[in-house]
Structure 1
Amino acid sequence: MNKTLGDSQSVAAMRNTFVARGVATAHPIIASRAAGAYLWDEAGRKYLDFVGGIGVLNIGHNHPAVVAAVQEQLESFSHVCFQVVAYEPYIRLAARLSELVAPGQGYKSVFLTTGAEAVENAIKIARGYTNRPGVIAFRGGFHGRTLLGMSLTGMSAPYKQNFGPFAPDVYHAPYPNAYHGFTSDDALKALDTIFSTQIQADRVAAIILEPVQGDGGFLAAPPEFMQALRELTTKHGIVLICDEIQTGFGRTGKMFGFQHSDIQPDLITVAKSLAGGLPISGVVGRAEIIDAPTPGGLGGTYGGNPLACAAANAVLDIFECENLLERSREIGEKLRAGLEALKEKHVEMGEIRQIGAMVAVEFVTDAQTKAPDSALVQRVLDAAREEGLLVIKCGVDRNVVRFLSPLNISEQDISDALGMFGRALKSLKA
């Protein structure tokens, strides 16, 4: 068996034979190792990785400080379960996140394992606090593949398929999208319509949204929309939840996406880049809200695993030492400038979106109709891979290419990535 596993063609064949079809893989390569901004396949080919495990590796692959922290923790213990005995890395991480999310306001945390689990617990906390059933999410939002996560997610394909019926008392409102002519005022009016036709505001426990929709196409909620939501939720006693699973930890140029709008959410969900590749997620929020569940109502066997907590504390150290928030903004500006230059030659690049180092390009069939061109995006991904650049798609129509580089990437790597992407676009017209 080991000899067979050593052959990349055999591994690919085994993947098709033994791995469930429903687990999609964006690129047909088998990884052998990774470091920093790079990944190598089993044939030894090197790729510049602008996927980062889908926004998980904001500090790059195998950062030495994270590796050292995990190794040190592993020598003490790898698992005891926080619901059995407590441990310092969990408690220290909770304290640090409290100060990052709401300095001096005494926010509290609970740690879990996956982003979907964090979302489910945030909703559970909100319902426990308000004693209300309803939840409003947004079209184009992504909140996970569990039952409640799918119910909250505002996209049908590929996530919902024939998996229903879904969780009850979940309602979807349209999300602002200026490029396609849907303003913040339009979205707020639609929300009022939900209150008047589907569920009264005093029966809504929570409104949940991504400050920048990730899988939905890197659409940023305008500050005025976020501020209006904060006023509305405060007025009606609704818990405002910001899903920061992809926007968190420097991706948008601030530690969290909500900080661009000068608001304070009641709860936020975190995961992905919190621990540099180790699985951990969490809910951070106001003490009076997050303490609504009584003892035993929150937790999970692997939630806040000691190795992941050690990694997460190392990640926060790295942010402090390497000035990654400023670097995130610099990376985003350079990527945007390079992509704008390419757009002058490629009219199919409909809109370039950038907030910090969260950068994406929406591809359309023509500039007038702005009709999505998902087939072209797949060809772009394949051509970019042939050039040595890994990127992935997103958007409700899967016509958006997203760029998720490490925040400590070099100037040369940024230049190389833009060159690879430009050559990929040019090759499709040859």
Structure 2
Amino acid sequence: MGARRRRPAGRRVIPEPTTATASVSVPRRRCLPPTPCLFFSQFARIITFRCLPVLTRRVDSRYRYPALYFVFFAAFSGFAAFRNVLLEEMGMSGVEMGIVGMVMITAGVVVQPLWGFVADYTRSPARVLVVAATVSALSLLSYPLGASLPGDAFLLITAGTALFAVGRAPIVPLSNALVLREGFDYGYARSFGSTSFGIAVLVIGFLLAYTTTLLVVYLYIAGMAVFVALALTIPDDEESILEGGLGTQAIGLLARRQFQVVLVAAFLLGFVSRSGDAFFSVYMRAVGLGDGYTGAAWALKTVAETVVFLAVGRTALSYGSLVSVGGLGFAAGYAGLTLFPTLGSVLLANVGLGVGLALLFFALVNLAHDCAPDGLHSTAQTLLTSVGVGAGGALGHIVAGWLVDAVGVQSMFAYLAAASVLLALVGVAVHAVADARHPTTA
């Protein structure tokens, strides 16, 4: 009997059809192209059953909260820096860009306290973050839709921006409340946001030289998908106990003199910072420096923010002193943009702006947290960013847009420098009133 031939490993032997099987016709499966519904359902399954368990196991509280800032600011950086460039490419005037910016901030001002009330009432700020991030991402689809329309897309863009602002409004203040609720160093956690903002805007600034400005919209939507996955891993607040009604406690918070002074400083911060940020990319094009250097300037600014956020908690300066120094940082930065529109001066000016922003936010966010009673911290943070920073930014956008058309974008920064000096003077009032209970930041 001859040696039996061995079948090579890994080869599959298909038997010849017999008489019984040859007559049976086996239908072939058709390979259909995936529909949009099937695509998004598969994407949701991947996020739910693959990404979310990994995040739950591997991202503990030491990294989860800094990651919230890192992801959000990286996603938002391109839209924040180049929104008006995108609107300018759509044919909008300076006044129209100012109206869009004002609508964006005004919508946030109106809804932010409501988001805070819901978060405190349900004691689930993380679930509020999930809903808010989803709304903000979907609403930005109005920008590519408006860019594809043959006519004027001003009304569509304005409506989409308003809805975007409604969703984006609570993301940062509720993240602040979560970080401070868990006893984390706010400056350390927030430094991750500054770092990611600087890196992302630098990369995006160079990419825009080779691709469409709508890239900033698509990157934001992708970033919010990651943000939602992170927020779903945050537990609810089961320890805070609010004594009395939520509305009564909120009114009492607004009646406190310490909190009122903090809101005034936050209003001026929003006025000088939001309007300056909105028109900085327009300024860079006006002085002939371009989008690539815009990204570099934003990156240097956020490096300065990061360094200050990491170091300010170890200083012995009072919150009022931090507000005054921060206001002077803005004044010096805007004066430099007005007087010396060269690359070196612009980069140096952005260092001053980054230092000022970090000092002011560190002082005001911590003061708002300290002024709020237990169980009302989310509301306090949303009031700070809506009644304070948001309302000031809304007024700043419309005033800055009018000044751009009246005196030019370069001269507009001179008026912002004067407003920054007023902010520095408000720091004296913060020191006299709000620092009475909190003499140092150490």
- The TM tier, using the shorter chain, reads under 0.3
TM-score, normalised on structure 1?
A: 0.25
TM-score, normalised on structure 2?
A: 0.25
Structure with bigger helix share is: 2
> Which protein has the larger Cα radius of gyration, Structure 1 or Structure 2?
2
Q: Which has the higher contact order (CA 8 A, sep 6+)?
A: 2
Structure with bigger strand share is: 1
